[in-house]
Amino acid sequence: MISSHPFQTPFPAKLSALSVLVFLSACTVGPDFKTPADSPSQHYDQQAEQRLGQDGGQRIEPGRKVSGHWWSALRSPKLDQVVRRAIDGNLELVAADATIRQASASVAAAEGALYPQVDFGATAGRQRLHNAKAPATDNFYAIGPRVGFDLDVFGGNKRLVEQQQAFADLQKRRYDAAYLKLTSDVTSQALLVASANAQIQAVEKLLANDSKNLELVRAAHINGSTTQVDVSLAETRLAQDRTLLPPLAQQRDAARHALSILTGKGPADWIPPPFDLADFTLPASVPVSLPSEMARARPDVQQAEAELHIASAAVGVATANLYPKVTLSASLAQAASGNGGAALWGFAAGIAGPIFNGGTLKAERQAAVEGYNATLASYQQTVISSFGQVADTLQAINHDAEQYRAQDDALRAAETSFRLNQQAYAQGENSILQVLEAERAYEQALLGHIRAKTAQYLDTVQLFVALGGNCAGVFEQRVASRETGSTSYQ
């Protein structure tokens, strides 16, 4: 039966209107974000991959992911202790953690717009009425709640929430990147300390040889078998070799200070252990994930993906701004004026949409689209650059192995030559100049050998870092560990 009241809506019409409203409320305009497709590449540098492992050098395990603590592959308990200390005390991680909580609060704030907004208002005053029969002055007040609700018919608020959620995810990926950089920096600085200590020990050994040679030359000069020129040459070599120590000591001290700072302490407040190259073991093999898997394991690629998601949501927000906004509001107030009072209530629905704005909204949407395209290109460049970084590091490890073998041969040859020249000089068969030249060759070979070994370690570290170091998602893992009371470190 249809009502005859002119303003009463028939029940089927109400139901239809409600259905349309529900349908529209479920509509969210703009693009839905999709994770970019993985790269089909199966190799980083086939030549480098094929050469690795030849001649007894380091080899790779293609298709295998890095697992556990990547730095544990160096098998150094000292390093593990320092890395753990740095993870607990590093101030950049503390700042990154706070930034994530800030972003999470922003998500909660954005989500609040999806719910009705309830406010409370009260007004009071004094007024004079001039249009009454007898002008009068009286008091008035109104007090009560107000409710407003944006139906978000086209999903603009939902896109804003999505954008904030993507930004929060970006902060988490930045934490992962900071974690990876921290562990990389700690490991690299520890290796630099060990390298400097090894070189200092080598120079001190050379200085001991210089002193011994000088004593031999002086004794020979007293016996009349050599000249003052030879004595001067030996003294010069000793003085020159002493100049090698200060730069090495500075390298060691700078690395030690860096380790203190990385752990959140001043250099005077905490001193790292005295690392030595013997504390580390060069991994015989390194797991190398496929390019498609590696892209998902690198925090910088994950950052680029989160930035792409933010740009996609921005397109949705700009698109929703092109459509009308539908709002509902209601109020209930107790109001009084003079000696009279009444309860007042109201309910209203409103719609507002753009008609003419000089093309601003369309231009803003186009700007958001172009921003997305630019971010997509940046994402793709980040992925490609990550492949290049792995390829460069694989080649570097190959060249490091070649350099180390060459330095090893040079060291053995120089050591033999130096020993034979010392013996020949003691027997009067050659001059001090020949001994000093042999010593110089040995000195260069010994220091070169240590540097070549250090390069192998540092480039191995860089390979782990280039592969992501198993650090993607480490923030969530650390949160889970804190909630369970575990002290596990990823």
- CATH code where residue 432 lies: 1.20.1600.10
Q: Compute CA distances 1 → 4, 11, 14, 173, whole Å.
A: 9, 10, 14, 62
Is the per-residue pLDDT at 5 higher than 80?
Answer: no
Alpha carbon distance 468, 173 (integer Å): 12
Backbone angles phi, psi at 115, to 5 degrees: -115, 160
* Residues above pLDDT 70, as percent of the chain: 91
Q: Is 65 part of any domain?
A: yes
Beta strand spans in 292-408 (E): 325-337, 340-352
Q: Whole-angstrom Cα distance, residue 157 to residue 150?
A: 9
Whether 329 contacts 146, CB under 8 Å: yes
The pLDDT tens digits for 345-396 are 888 888 988 988 889 999 999 999 999 999 999 999 999 999 999 999 999 9
Does residue 70 have a pLDDT over 90? Answer: yes
For residue range 107-137, list pLDDT tens digits in order: 999 999 999 999 988 888 877 766 656 666 7
Return the minimum-mean-pLDDT range out of 77-81, 150-154, 211-215.
211-215
* Mean pLDDT estimate for the chain: 87
Q: From CA 216, how far away is CA 222, in angstroms rounded?
A: 10
Task: Give the pairing of strands 59-62 and 136-150.
Answer: unpaired
pLDDT digits (tens, 9 = 90+) for 139-193: 777 788 989 999 989 999 999 999 999 999 999 999 999 999 999 999 999 999 9
Using CB atoms within 10 Å of the CB of residue 146, give its burial: 0 to 12 exposed, 13 to 18 middle, 19+ buried. middle
Q: In this structure, is residue 75 part of a structural domain?
A: yes
What pLDDT shows up at residue 133?
66
Domain assignment present for residue 347? The answer is no
H-helix or E-strand spanning residue 375: helix 360-426
User: Does 22 score more than 50 pLDDT?
Assistant: no
pLDDT given for residue 94 in this prediction: 93
User: Which single residue is written with the structure tokens 């990154």?
Assistant: 96
Burial class (CB in 10 A: 0-12, 13-18, 19+), 224: exposed
Output the pLDDT for position 422.
84
User: Measuring CA to CA, which residue among 359, 314, 393, 348 is closest to residue 30?
Assistant: 314
Q: How far apart are CA 66 and CA 464, in angstroms?
A: 8
Biggest distance spanned by C-alpha atoms of the chain: 139
Alpha-carbon distance of 77 to 89, in angstroms, equals: 18
Split at pLDDT 50, 70, 90, the class of 91 is very high
DSSP label of 1? -
Identify the CA nearest to 107 among candidates 163, 32, 154, 153: 163
Q: How confident is the model at residue 52 (pLDDT cuts 50, 70, 90)?
A: confident
User: Is 60 within a domain?
Assistant: yes
Decide: 401 and 456 in contact? Cβ < 8 Å.
yes
Residues constituting the chain: 490
More confidently predicted of 16 and 124? 124
205's enclosing H/E stretch is: helix 156-223
Rounded Cα distance, 51 and 462, in Å: 18
Q: Which of 51-55, 239-243, 248-252 has the lowest mean pLDDT?
A: 51-55
Q: What is the pLDDT of residue 273?
A: 94
Residues 6+ positions from 176 with CB-CB distance below 8 Å? 299, 302, 471, 472, 473, 474, 475
The pLDDT value given to residue 224? 80
Q: What percent of the chain has pLDDT over 90?
A: 56
Q: Check residue 486 and give its pLDDT.
A: 57
- Residue 13 has a pLDDT of 42
| pLDDT at residue 6 is higher than 60 | no
* 393-438 residue pLDDT tens: 999 999 999 999 999 999 999 999 989 998 888 887 888 778 888 8
Determine the pLDDT at residue 3.
39
Whether residue 490 is contained in a domain is answered as: no
Sequence-ordered list of residues with C-beta below 8 angstroms from that of 390, at least 6 positions apart, any chain = 44, 288, 291, 294, 463, 466, 467
Q: What is the pLDDT of residue 2?
A: 36
Assign 11 a pLDDT band (cuts: 50, 70, 90). very low
Is 13 within a domain? Answer: no
Helix, strand, or coil here: 469?
Answer: coil
Is pTM, for the whole model, over 0.75? yes
Number of domains making up the chain: 1
Q: What is the pLDDT of residue 7?
A: 33
Within-domain flag for 120? no
Residue 27 tokens, joined: 């509509």
The pLDDT of residue 106: 93
281 by Cβ neighbours in 10 Å (0-12 / 13-18 / 19+) ranks as exposed
Q: What is the pLDDT of residue 1?
A: 34
Q: pLDDT band for 15, please (50, 70, 90 cuts).
A: very low
Residue whose C-alpha is closest to residue 431's, from 223, 238, 242, 220: 220
Long-range contacts of 18-26 (CB under 8 A, 24+ apart): 21/151, 24/151, 24/153, 24/154, 24/326, 25/151, 25/152, 25/153
Q: What is the pLDDT of residue 481?
A: 76
Does residue 330 belong to any structural domain of this protein? no
- Residue ranges making up the domain that contains 227: 30-115+154-323+359-484
Q: Point out the least confidently predicted range of 53-67, 193-207, 411-425.
A: 53-67
Specify the DSSP class assigned to residue 468. Answer: T
Give the model's pLDDT for residue 162. 94
Cβ proximity of 317 and 364 under 8 Å: no
pLDDT tens profile 317-342:
999 999 999 999 888 888 777 666 77
